[in-house]
Amino acid sequence: MNFFERQRASRATTVKLVVLFALGVLSIVIAVDAVVLIVERRATASTIVGSLIAASAFTLLVIAAGTASKMIALRAGGVAVAQSVGAVAIDPSTSDPRLRRFINIVEEMSIASGVPVPRLFVLEQEPGINAFAAGYSPADAAITVTSGALDTLNRDELQGVIGHEYSHVLNGDMRLNIRLIGLLNGILLLGLIGLRFLQFGGGRSRDSRGSPILAVAIALLILGFVGQFFAGLIKAAVSRQREWLADASSVQFTRQTTGLVGALKKIAGLPAGSALGDKHGEKQISHMLFGEGSRGLSQLYATHPPLLERIKALDPAFNPDEIAQLQQDFAQQPPDGMAEDAALGLAGPAPVIRPAPAMSADSSVRLDAGAIGGRVGRLTPDDLARGARLSGQIPPSLHTLATQSSTAVPLVLALLLDGGEDVRTRQLQVVRARMGGPVAEAAAGYAAEVSPLDPVLRLPLAAIAAPLLAARPADQRAALVTALDEMARVDGRITVFEYCLTRMIASSLSDAAAPGPRSRPGRGTVGSAGDAALSLLAAISAAGNADPAAAEHAFGAAAARLYPGRRVPFTPPADPWRDLDAGWATLDALAPPHKQQLVEALVVAVSDDGVLTIAEAELLRTTCALLHCPLPPLVA
C-alpha cells in the first residue's frame, strides 16, 4: 500500500470512526431515556415525552460541547496535544547527550522523508518506555518521548521507536488521532459529570426527598460507565491495526528488526514497562502511544496488539521465556542506553552511517514515474542513510544557527542573499524594512558562512530551522514570508532555488498556523484541474530544459501520461512562477489517486532528457511538498 492508498484508507477509517462515535452517542441517549422512563414511570404521557426530549437534548449538548471544546483546544495541532499531557519542549540547541541523540535521529528521518523537522518534547517524569506523534500534518507534527525511553534505549532501539512514530506521521494517522481525542472527549465528559455528581451530590440526602437525586446520580454513574465502555471500544477498534502497520514500517525504514524488538523487549522486562503515571493524560492519548499506557487492560479495550505478539511478528525465533530472564537481569542491572551505545561504538553526536547508494547531482539518470510515485510518503533504508549523510554534511556552525531561536530566522534569510553587491544591498534593505535592523545585520553576517554551502544542503538546512520558524509569533511569520518573497524578486527574476525555498517556507508556516483546515484530504480530479495541472507541467518542463524543443518534448510526454489520448499544445509560460502560484490551491485539493497521477506525470517531465539536475530535483520535491506528498531526496 503506497502513500496515496494509505491516505484513501485513512479516510475510510475516519468514516468508520464517525459511525462508531454515532453508535456510541445513540447508545448513551437510549440509556439516558431508559433512566428517564424509570424515574417518570408514574407521570403523565406528556410529561414523559417532555422529559425524554429534555434529557436527550441535554445529553447531546454535553457531548457536543465536550467535543467542540477539545477540538478548539487542539486546533494548534501537535504542540497542543504534547503540552496538554505535560510534555516539555526540547531546546534544539541542547547539549544533553540523551536529547542530542534524539534530535539527531529525528533530523535524519525528516531530511530523508522530505518533511519539516517536528517539534520535540519529553515527558520528564515518566520512567516507562513510550512515545507518541501528534499533529494534523507533518508541518505541525510534534514527537514526544518519555524520559524512560531516553534513559534505557540505545540508539538503534530509539531509532526503531522513532521510526514507528514517523510511520504515523507519514501514514496520516495523526489527523485521525486528534479527531479521536476530540470526539471521545464529549463521551468521556458525560461520564465525568456522572462520577462527580455521585461523588459530591448524589448521596447527601437519604430521605424520601433525596431519592430522585440519588436516582439521577446512579443514572449518571451508569452513563459514565457506558461512556467509558464505548470510548474504549472505539479507540481499540481504530488503533490496533495501525500499530501493526507502524511496526512494519519502522522495520522497513531502518532495515533491521533488532532496534524495535530490543525496545519492545525492554518494555516487557522492566517494571515500569510502557505505563504512564499520569492516568488522566494517558486516557486522552492512549491510542497514540508506542506502547500501552496502562497495565492489565482487557484485550477488548487494548489500543495496541499484545506485546509478545508484536515481538513474535518481528522476530519469529523469539521465545517468551526470554522475558523472565530479562526481568531478572534488569532487576540486578537496569539498562543504560547511552552506556550500550558506547559499548556498540554508537556514542557521540555523529551516527554510524551504513553504506547506501546516492544519486549524484546533475547526473544522467532515468527515473521511473511509477517507482518515484511509490516513494512518496515512504522511507527506505537508502533514504534514511542518505538523510543521515546530508545531515552530517551540514557544517556544525550552520547547524547551530539553525537550531537557535535567535539565529534561525536570519540564517534562512541569508540563504537568499545574492552574490552581487548591488542586489544584496537591496535585499538587506528589504529585510531591514520587514524584519528590523538587527535581523538584517545578522543575515549579512551569516552570508559568508552560507555562501560556500553545497546547493544540495540548503533546503535540508532550512528544514532543520523550520520548527523554530513556526514557533514565531504570527506577525513575525507573516513578515518573514513577505521578506523572503521580496528578496527573491529584487533583481527582477526568480531562480528555481529561490522559488523552492520561499514557497516551502510559506507552505510550512501556513500549515503550522492552520493545521486542521490545511490537512484535509482533497476530492478534486485531474480533469477538473486541467489548467492548473498543465501550467505546472509546462513550468517544470521549461525550468528543466533551456532548449525550447526539449521543453516541448518533455511537456508532451508528461501531458500524455496525465491525459492519455488527449493532444495538448505546449504553451511556454511567460511567467512560470506566477502561473504556478495561481494553481497550487486547486492542485492541493486533488483526491489522493489523482495526486499520484500528477506526481507521476511530473516525474516524466523531469526525467525526459535523461538528466536530473539539482534544480529539477528540488523543484520536484518542492512541488510534492506543496501538494502535501512528501518525497525523499533524489540527490545527495
Q: Residues with catalytic annotation?
A: 165
Tell me how far apart the alpha carbons of residues 337 and 301 are, in angstroms, rounded to a whole number: 32
Question: Which helix (DSSP H) or strand (DSSP E) does residue 614 occupy?
Answer: helix 614-626
Q: Which amino acid is at 6?
A: R
DSSP code per residue over 94-119:
---HHHHHHHHHHHHHHHHHT-PPPE
Residue 474 backbone phi and psi in degrees, to 5: -60, -40
Residue 114 backbone phi and psi in degrees, to 5: 80, 25
Is 533 in contact with 526 (CB distance < 8 Å)?
A: yes
Tell me how far apart the alpha carbons of residues 544 and 539 are, in angstroms, rounded to a whole number: 9
Tell me how far apart the alpha carbons of residues 346 and 176 are, in angstroms, rounded to a whole number: 36
Is 288 in contact with 135 (CB distance < 8 Å)?
A: no
Tell me how far apart the alpha carbons of residues 379 and 252 are, in angstroms, rounded to a whole number: 7
Tell me how far apart the alpha carbons of residues 419 and 490 are, in angstroms, rounded to a whole number: 13
What per-residue string of b and e applies to 34-63 under the rule 16 or more CB within 10 Å gives b?
ebbeebbeeeeeeebeebbeebbeebbebb
Tell me how far apart the alpha carbons of residues 386 and 452 are, in angstroms, rounded to a whole number: 21
Tell me how far apart the alpha carbons of residues 311 and 332 are, in angstroms, rounded to a whole number: 23
